Amino acid sequence: MDSGTPFIEMDAAWDDDRGGGAGPDGLTAARPARQRAQRPSSGARLAFASFLMLFVELALIRWITSNNVYVTKATNFVLLASFLGIGIGFLNARARRDYLRWTPVALLALVGFVLLFPVILSSLSGSHPYRGLRHMLALPQPVSLGIIFVLTAAVMAGLGQAMARPFVGLRALNAYRLDIVGSIAGIAVFSGLSFLDQPPATWGIIACAGLLALLAPKIRWWQVAAVAVIVTALCIESFVPSQTWSPYNKLSVYQQTGKNPALNVSANNIPYQAARSLAVLARQKPFYWYPYRHVTKASLDDVLIIGAGTGNDTAVALASGARHIDAVEIDPELLRLGEQRAPSQPYSSPRVTLHVADGREYLQDTNKKYNLILFALPDSLAAVSGQSAVRLESFLLTKQSIAAVKAHLAPGGTFAMYNYYAPFLLNRYATTIDDVFGRVPCEDVGPPLGGRQLAVLTVYSRGAVPHCTSYWHGTRVAPATDDYPFPYLPSPGMPMSYVWFLIAILLGSVLLLRVGGGSGPLRRMHRYTDLAFMGAAFMLLETKNIVQFALLFGATWFVNSLVSAGVLVAVYLAVETARHVRLPRPMFLHAALIASLAVTWLVPADAPLGLPLIPRFLAASALAFAPIYIANLIFAQRFSDAETTGTAFAANLLGAIVGGLIEYTALITGYRFLLIVVGVLYALAFVSSRFLRRSAPATAPPSTALTPLTLSP
């Protein structure tokens, strides 16, 4: 399964008579408090704008991914566009140009383009697998992504400016606190809507109502008209009878009739599952029964099915004599479809217990032993996997995960996994099983599909697989690991298409920043080289934290929200420390940061897995958020004497975007190596800061206030 992973934006700023500071991805004012006008209405507007900006960003990440298959190949694509737009908005906090005024039109253009020019995977083979409406060819990838990038940046520029204008009129401490309140509200509301399986219509109504509130009292008729069209379009998309929305996917359901009836399910415009009756499965998909060739009915006391989906695998297990089945599925809506509409109704059996959970998470949290464990088509969306992203099942398919499976097998237990595999994937998973169990798996082969090979890999915990007629004898391919959870990448490296893609994002960001933010700040950018290094480093640090928590607690929307809240707490604690405590010299803070990164490097990523849930969370939080806390202290010192915070913010902004691009080096090195890159970037920030301080003029003009942004790639 695939999803748009939800990301967070948080702001941290403070100011008093001693000067200002900043969080890791932004700036604050160093202006004395007496120069700021305090207005309650400005504070309320700031909190609301912060809430709306975060809410819209999360909604766009989720919604665009569900309608455009291209975006799944680079899941931080919409995030970087949002980051760029918000930065442009803040650079125009005091400018005459009014981006907010045109935000309804920009949002209408974005929604219209995504709905009129979707990208749908219609086939796994052929020269033109991607289609649009009415089976027309989809737009070329560069055109589709380029338009989405520009329109997303335009929408977020208006919301960023709406937040920046009241921010610069308030004391930074008050602005920070209101900003945090708004950010927390944005997380809570979007998470709540995800929990309730709300469709885009709900997101759109909230976003558009909030936008009109920001535009009041100077609302124009054409702004209202644009908002009305947006809500209407999203309602039409949301309430078609054959479509439903889960916390992870847009699920489109089609009832196939005729000789081979099936309930066909597509997820985010990708063909995904087909629930069939047992008779049709036996005729069309006999591979579901292949694992049961190697076990006896008497041995099937407890069966675990990971990736249970709409219920085909569970129905076959029941028919094969399983006395109890634990069916694990991360998407609750798929289970609901299976309960209500699966032809064989397997989930109505008292022998079945349903678990809404990430597969790796379930293995980590249960002590139960099983006679048979099945990985049931868990990587069905591999055809368009986002290679730079931790997909929902990435940690389920690593060497460490298969080792966890082995540990949960009862004496004489059996493990099997099956799917339509690309040749290298079949060899990779077979190699993984061989490495973990110490023996090659049995290989039952079925018909090909779109260049893939249907195969069932089975291994017996006590020796040779009973009744096996053919063992795997392919070429060994290095397994995916918890540090390198990219099973769909044939070998470590970055394809040239990705290289050009990343170059285009970087150049496009520079161009849009120059056009939207003005050329003056860019000419003075060299004064804040250290801030660019810090922005890139912090982006990578947050990436590592997202990955770490996905491994320890599951790649779920709830875990993403948990990590985001943790970052907020770490930033807040650093802000309060900087306000009330005289900080050490930058050299000591940088040393403390490097030490915390070293500790995180030395502790294996999966070390807390053996701990109970609460101690595991506390240990993971200490490792993940200590560097974030110290990084915020470093920013507090640096930004207190920034000469022009507008230019400084632009440098930090471009640095963060570069950090989002550097994230893709994990395709070559794995995620653990990113900690070294983070350390190098902070070291470069320290060295360049010392140089810049020596070359700075003796006096500096007062700066203007800008809010920082913290991103999760």
Cis peptide before 217 (omega within 30 of 0): yes
Is the pLDDT score of 417 beyond 90?
yes
117 within a domain of the structure (yes/no)? yes
Q: Identity (one letter) of the amino acid at 2?
A: D
602 within a domain of the structure (yes/no): yes
Phi, psi of 267 (to 5 degrees): -120, 120
pLDDT, position 316: 94
| Average predicted confidence (pLDDT) for the chain | 81
Query: 574-601 pLDDT, tens per residue?
Result: 777 877 888 888 889 999 999 999 998 8
Residues 73 and 120 grouped into a single domain: yes
pLDDT (mean) for 362-390: 70
Helices (H), 366-466: 399-407, 423-437
Q: Answer yes or no: do 33 and 91 share one domain.
A: yes
Element (H, E) at 540: helix 529-553
385/51: higher pLDDT: 51
Residue 654's pLDDT is what? 75
Name the least confident of 74-78, 215-219, 355-359, 552-556: 552-556
- Does a structural domain hold residue 266? no
Q: Tens digit of pLDDT for each residue in 307-334?
A: 898 999 999 999 999 999 999 998 888 8
Determine, yes or no, domain membership for 114: yes
Instruction: Decide if pLDDT at 611 tops 70.
Output: yes
Amino acid identity at 214:
L
pLDDT at 532 over 50: yes
Strand duo 409-421 + 370-376: pairing: parallel
d(CA 693, CA 214): 40
263 occurs within a structural domain:
no
Which one, of 399, 406, 420, lies nearest residue 477 by Cα? Answer: 399
Confidence of residue 522 (pLDDT cuts 50, 70, 90): low
pLDDT per residue as tens digits for the range 461-473: 988 999 999 999 9
Asked if 518 contacts 666 with a C-beta cutoff of 8 angstroms, the reply is no
Final residue in a domain of this structure, among 460, 480, 504: 460
Q: Is the pLDDT of residue 202 over 70?
A: yes
Residue in the structure block whose two tokens are 């509409």: 341
Q: Domain with 221 in it: what CATH number?
A: 1.20.1250
pLDDT over 70 (residue 172): no
What's the pLDDT band for 349 if we cut at 50, 70, 90? very high
- Where does the pLDDT of residue 92 fall: very low under 50, low under 70, confident under 90, or very high at 90 and above? confident
Furthest-apart CA pair in the chain: how many Å?
85
Same domain? For 290 and 425 the reply is yes
Segment of 83-92, 346-355, 386-395, 489-498 carrying the highest mean pLDDT = 346-355
Percent of the chain with pLDDT over 90: 31
In terms of domains, do 98 and 233 share one?
A: yes
- Report for 66-70, 322-326, 364-368, 617-621: range of highest mean pLDDT: 322-326
The answer on pLDDT for 390 being more than 50 is no
Q: Tell me: do 446 and 495 sit in the same domain.
A: no
Of residues 37 and 669, the one with the higher pLDDT is: 669
Task: Report the alpha-carbon distance of residue 632 to residue 283 in Å, rounded.
Answer: 61
- pLDDT higher than 60, residue 140: yes
Structural domain for 90, as ranges: 13-242+491-695
Residue whose entry in the numeric block shows the structure tokens 């041995």 = 299
Q: What is the pLDDT of residue 36?
A: 42
Instruction: Please tell me the predicted confidence (pLDDT) of residue 681.
Output: 93
Residue 4 has pLDDT above 50, yes or no: no
Task: For residues 385 and 710, give the distance between their C-alpha atoms in angstroms, rounded to a whole number.
Answer: 26
Residues 161 and 296 in one domain: no
Q: Bigger pLDDT: 38 or 492?
A: 492
Q: Do 435 and 504 sit in the same domain of this protein?
A: no
Per-residue confidence (pLDDT) for residue 270, from 0 to 100: 82
**Percentage of residues in the chain with pLDDT exceeding 70?**
83
Token pair for residue 191?
């998470």
Q: How far apart are the C-alpha atoms of 507 and 494, rounded to whole Å?
A: 19
Q: Indicate the pLDDT class of residue 416, thresholds 50, 70 and 90.
A: very high
Same domain, 307 and 219: no
Distance (Å) of CA 308 to CA 273, 302, 328, 373: 11, 15, 6, 12
Q: Domain of 341: which CATH number?
A: 3.40.50.150
pLDDT of residue 254: 85
445 and 591 assigned to the same domain: no
- Distance between the two ends of the chain, CA-based, in angstroms? 19
Residue 479's Cβ-count burial label (10 Å; 0-12, 13-18, 19+) is: buried
As given in the structure block, the two tokens for residue 363 are 């293995």
For the chain, how many structural domains are there in total?
2
Least confident range from 13-17, 121-125, 140-144, 466-470: namely: 13-17
Same domain? For 167 and 25 the reply is yes
pLDDT higher at 524 or 300: 300
Considering the entire predicted model, what is its pTM? 0.82
pLDDT tens-digit series, residues 213-269: 999 888 999 999 999 999 999 999 998 888 888 888 888 888 877 777 888 888 888
Are both 83 and 216 inside the same structural domain?
yes
Among 460, 477, 510, residue at a domain's last position: 460
| Same-domain pairing of 201 and 283 | no
478 in a structural domain: no
Ranges 164-168, 313-317, 685-689, most confident: 313-317
More confident residue, 302 or 257: 302
Taking the C-alpha atoms of residue 652 and residue 671, their distance in angstroms, rounded to an integer, is 23
pLDDT of 649 higher than 80: no
Q: Of 16-25, 120-129, 698-707, give the range with the top mean pLDDT.
A: 120-129
Query: If you average pLDDT over each of 241-255, 360-374, 624-638, 682-696, which comes out highest?
Result: 360-374
pLDDT-wise least confident of 549-563, 594-608, 699-713: 699-713
Mean pLDDT of 651-668: 81
Residue 483 forms part of a structural domain: no
Q: Which residue has the higher pLDDT, 574 or 444?
A: 444
61 falls within a domain: yes
Average pLDDT, integer, range 636-655: 64
3-state helix, strand, coil in the chain (%, to 5): 60, 15, 30
